[in-house]
Homo-oligomer: A and B are copies of this chain.
Amino acid sequence: MPTKLASIEEYRKLVDSYDTFLFDCDGVIWLGSELIPGVKEVISFLKSSNKNLLYVTNNSTVSRKDYVKKFEKLGLTVTENEIYGSAYATAIYLQKIVKFKAEKEVFIVGGAGIKKELELVGIKVSDKVIPPMSGTEDIKKILPDSKIGAIVCGLDLNMSYGKMAFAHINLMTNEDCLFIATNDDSSFPVENQIFPGAGSILSVLVTSTKKKPAVIGKPYQTMFDSICASHEIDLRRTLMVGDRLDTDIDFGIAAGIDTLVVYTGVTTEEEACNPKNSQATFSMGSFGELSALID
């Protein structure tokens, strides 16, 4: 069961114990389009205490630049360096971890955020456009392209059969073609509703190719490896803060760092205390409660 933090002494000890705080955003910092009370003040306080703050999100539809705007809209000041989206983590993975060949191109089944982040680190993105299919005859025109060195799949609001078929045929034809997913969240929350997420889109290719992708985003270790490839991280003094056990808390556990679950998002206290579920190190009603530390 996570140790429940509720007194000012416990809050102070938590802040003193860590230099780096990794945050999930939705359900911790904001909920939908509303800031969670007190969190803005706590973030200012942690920054003025020289803490390193990193926002770790599986959302690959937007780039870090777009994410900075989202923070600004809510009245929070962050820099691009503090944001770690799965699109950027995928770029870092390709650049620093697998050392993607300069002469190869990536074909993306996903949003504009992925293209932006890949191009920013100098990775070539295929400009292949597959026209809409008018019948099965059109499928024959979809041929593999030896330039394609990786398929990157994320949440794609413009998914199409043609894109899927082109990704599929490259994965099946070219044994060296990498298969990468920004994340595999089956759902994508929008306001109070749940819609199909990147993991649901991805399942088309997993089913058709019978191949398993390298998944970058939380809860996978790859996201953390990617963070460590571009930031100095002391594992013992790093805390992961999140609202979901199966992504955020599992991510911290896989990385070997302490975790804090908050109840301002999807997980209830009952679920967090259920021994069958992943166990966070600490729990707290809301991260905003730390505002009690501010004079």
Which single member of B132, B139, B196 contacts A207 (CB below 8 Å)? B196
A142 within 8 A of partner (CB): yes
- The distance in angstroms between the C-alpha atoms of A6 and B191, with both chains bound, is 66
Chain A: residues with Cβ within 8 Å of the partner, total of 41
With both beta carbons as reference points, the residue of chain B lying nearest to A144 in the complex is identified as B193
With both beta carbons as reference points, the residue of chain B lying nearest to A165 in the complex is identified as B195
How many copies of this chain does the complex contain? Answer: 2
Instruction: With both chains docked as a complex, state the minimum distance between the C-beta of A292 and any C-beta of chain B, in angstroms.
Output: 34
With both beta carbons as reference points, the residue of chain B lying nearest to A195 in the complex is identified as B165
Q: Is the CB of B159 within 8 A of A136?
A: no
- The distance in angstroms between the C-alpha atoms of A280 and B157, with both chains bound, is 44
- The distance in angstroms between the C-alpha atoms of A256 and B152, with both chains bound, is 45
Provide the main secondary structure of the chain A interface.
mixed
Q: Mark A222-249, 1 if CB is under 8 A from B, else 0.
A: 0000000000000000000000000000
Instruction: With both chains docked as a complex, state the minimum distance between the C-beta of A249 and any C-beta of chain B, in angstroms.
Output: 21
Q: Is the CB of A138 within 8 A of B161?
A: no
Residues of B within 8 A of A161 (CB): 156-159, 196, 201
Residues of B within 8 A of A149 (CB): none
Which single member of B158, B168, B195, B200 contacts A195 (CB below 8 Å)? B168
Q: Name A's B-contacting residues (CB within 8 A).
A: 61, 132-136, 138-140, 142, 156-161, 164-165, 168-169, 172, 186-188, 190-191, 193-197, 199-201, 203-208, 210
